[in-house]
């Protein structure tokens, strides 16, 4: 698919333009320089053509912090990956900044095709004259306001002219397994993804919370492809505006995923991990427990495993694997478990066979009677595969207490080998 990167200084409006082009709020858009740190994928239509857009972090050549230097590296990777660059400049200034000149030099060095756009031209006569920017060597710039939707049509027309005729099947059209990496801050989520990819795709720092957006990446392992979603760490408790917004993004990725890799740190299992477990259960997610930082284990391994079993007892139907993302230990086992769980998710169970199994389980271990009333089952049917929801229509749903439902679920999971798959029952009384 034709790929376009949006590049520019911090706070030039790149994320706002990106969101307009893909017609959804996917990148974090706050009036705060440096809000987008990694590059973000999104797909949008330019008339009849489907395009992949990349929103990048703001380039700062005066970068003094480690994070800023890594943002610049990410932008270079995005430029290298792209077929066309939209170089976005804040047009409300009447001069070309030194930073914009340095970005210009970088783009010429990369020998990429560039569309120059002057943003924030929403007030008449507030925008710079276009002739001032001819010296940059990208032709006459297009004046726009991404926030106010002014003259975006002109930008779309220019993009359309640059798109070649050939079309490709996108990764997103291949119906790949969607894998979300979920965990509290600083458990090694981005390090894990980077180790899998073999290069630094998400910014990794010792500062907790350096992944701010949901990062999508295609991973190929032994001729199979997977769509990984690297998410911000989810925090428990009261959050500031930006942290709250980011946590909502992590939850969105969790909801959209097929399988969750629940990453925990073996040296720090806490109540926040329990909080995340409750989110996984609430959202009925199938998944795998990834126990990271195997290389740091200094205490008895059984003690750690017992702590996990105690704190995460409600998701012990998830298969578990111990790894070191940093040292790349046991990463191949993650893919083996993903394949197993994904196969279990898509396993076909005939309705008749499922009914027989549930009747047999209930007959062998019936719920207690309610006075003189006996349990009557009128219908059983499967509603969905992931989560695997099974509806049972009965005369009185009070027969099905929480512990009894859990007992039936465990028996079904055991019989059909549904390790890692979330199973739940919806008990409904027959309408009279």
Summarised one tens digit per residue, pLDDT across range 158-187 is 999 999 876 555 544 567 899 999 888 888
User: Lowest mean pLDDT: which of 64-73, 127-136, 262-271?
Assistant: 64-73
| Mean pLDDT of the 258-282 span | 91
| Mean pLDDT of the 85-90 span | 95
Summarised one tens digit per residue, pLDDT across range 47-72 is 988 888 988 888 877 766 777 777 88
What pTM value is reported for the model? 0.68
Q: What is residue 27's predicted lDDT score, i.e. its pLDDT?
A: 61
**pLDDT classification of 246: cutoffs 50, 70, 90:** low
Instruction: State percent of the chain over pLDDT 70.
Output: 84
**pLDDT classification of 251: cutoffs 50, 70, 90:** confident
Assign domain 351-429 one CATH number from 3.30.300.20, 3.30.2420.10, 3.40.50.12280, 3.40.50.300: 3.30.300.20
Closest by CA position to 261, among listed 190, 175, 348: 190
Q: CA dihedral defined by 151, 20, 30, 8, rounded to 10 degrees?
A: -70
User: Lowest mean pLDDT: which of 16-30, 232-246, 271-285, 325-339?
Assistant: 232-246
Q: What span, in angstroms and rounded, lies between the C-alpha atoms of 183 and 314?
A: 16
Tokens of 149: 């939707």
The CATH 3.40.50.300 portion of the chain extends over 3-162, 171-345
CA distances in angstroms from 329 to 300, 359, 380, listed in the order given: 19, 45, 44
Q: What is residue 239's predicted lDDT score, i.e. its pLDDT?
A: 53
Q: What is the DSSP string of 305-360?
A: HHHHHHHTGGGTTS-EEE-BTTTTBSHHHHHHHHHHHHHHHT----HHHHHHHHHH
Q: What is residue 100's predicted lDDT score, i.e. its pLDDT?
A: 92
| Mean pLDDT of the 136-154 span | 92
Q: What is residue 122's predicted lDDT score, i.e. its pLDDT?
A: 80
Is the domain defined by 171-345 classed in CATH 3.40.50.300?
yes
Residue 214 has pLDDT above 70, yes or no: no
Q: What is residue 65's predicted lDDT score, i.e. its pLDDT?
A: 74
| Mean pLDDT of the 216-233 span | 81
| Mean pLDDT of the 198-224 span | 70
Residue 374 has pLDDT above 90, yes or no: no
Tokens of 127: 């925008």
Q: What span, in angstroms and rounded, lies between the C-alpha atoms of 314 and 298?
A: 27
3-162 has which fold? Rossmann fold (3.40.50)
The top-scoring range by mean pLDDT among 16-30, 199-213, 274-288 is 274-288
Tokens of 3: 């790929």
Instruction: State percent of the chain over pLDDT 90.
Output: 46
Residue 420 has pLDDT above 60, yes or no: yes
Closest by CA position to 57, among listed 65, 68, 66: 68
**pLDDT classification of 44: cutoffs 50, 70, 90:** confident
- Of residues 299 and 9, which shows the higher confidence score? 9
β-pair partners for 370 = 373
Residue 259 has pLDDT above 90, yes or no: yes
Provide the sign of the torsion angle of the four alpha carbons 74, 79, 82, 86, taken in this order. Answer: positive
The CATH 3.30.300.20 portion of the chain extends over 351-429
């Amino acid at each position: 698919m034709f790929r376009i990167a949006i590049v520019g200084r911090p706070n030039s409006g790149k994320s706002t333009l990106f969101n307009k082009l893909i017609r959804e709020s996917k990148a974090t858009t706050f009036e705060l320089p440096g809000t987008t740190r990694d590059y973000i994928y999104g797909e949008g239509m330019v008339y009849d053509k489907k395009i992949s857009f990349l929103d990048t972090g703001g380039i700062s050549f005066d970068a003094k912090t480690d994070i800023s230097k890594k943002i610049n590296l990410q932008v270079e990777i995005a430029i290298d990956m792209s077929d066309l660059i939209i170089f976005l400049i804040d047009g409300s200034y009447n001069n070309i900044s030194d930073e914009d000149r340095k970005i210009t030099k970088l783009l010429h060095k990369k020998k990429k095709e560039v569309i120059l756009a002057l943003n924030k031209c929403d007030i008449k006569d507030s925008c710079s004259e276009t002739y001032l920017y001819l010296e940059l060597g990208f032709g006459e710039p297009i004046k726009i306001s991404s926030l106010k939707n002014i003259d975006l049509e002109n930008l779309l027309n220019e993009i359309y002219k640059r798109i070649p005729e050939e079309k490709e099947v996108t990764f997103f059209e291949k119906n790949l397994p969607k894998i979300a990496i979920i965990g509290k801050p600083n458990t090694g989520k981005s390090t894990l993804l980077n180790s899998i990819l073999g290069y630094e795709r998400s910014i990794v720092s010792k500062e907790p919370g350096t992944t701010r957006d949901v990062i999508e990446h295609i991973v190929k392992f032994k001729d199979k492809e997977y769509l990984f979603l690297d998410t911000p760490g989810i925090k428990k408790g009261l959050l500031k505006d930006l942290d709250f917004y980011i946590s909502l993004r992590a939850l969105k990725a969790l909801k959209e995923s097929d399988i969750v890799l629940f990453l925990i740190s073996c040296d720090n299992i806490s109540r926040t991990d329990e909080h995340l477990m409750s989110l996984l259960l609430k959202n009925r997610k199938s998944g795998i427990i990834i126990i990271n930082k195997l290389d740091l284990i200094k205490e008895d391994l059984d003690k750690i495993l017992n702590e996990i079993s105690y704190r995460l007892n409600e998701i012990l139907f998830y298969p578990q694997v111990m790894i070191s993302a940093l040292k790349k230990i046991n990463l191949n086992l993650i893919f083996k478990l993903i394949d197993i769980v994904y196969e279990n998710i898509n396993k076909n169970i005939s309705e008749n066979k499922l009914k027989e199994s549930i009747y047999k389980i209930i007959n062998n271990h019936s719920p207690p009677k309610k006075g003189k009333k006996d349990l009557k089952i009128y219908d059983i049917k499967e509603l969905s595969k992931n989560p695997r929801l099974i509806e049972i229509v009965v005369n009185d749903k009070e027969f099905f207490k929480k512990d009894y439902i859990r007992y039936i679920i465990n028996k079904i999971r055991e019989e059909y080998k549904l390790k890692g798959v979330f199973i739940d029952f919806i008990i409904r009384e027959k309408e009279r």
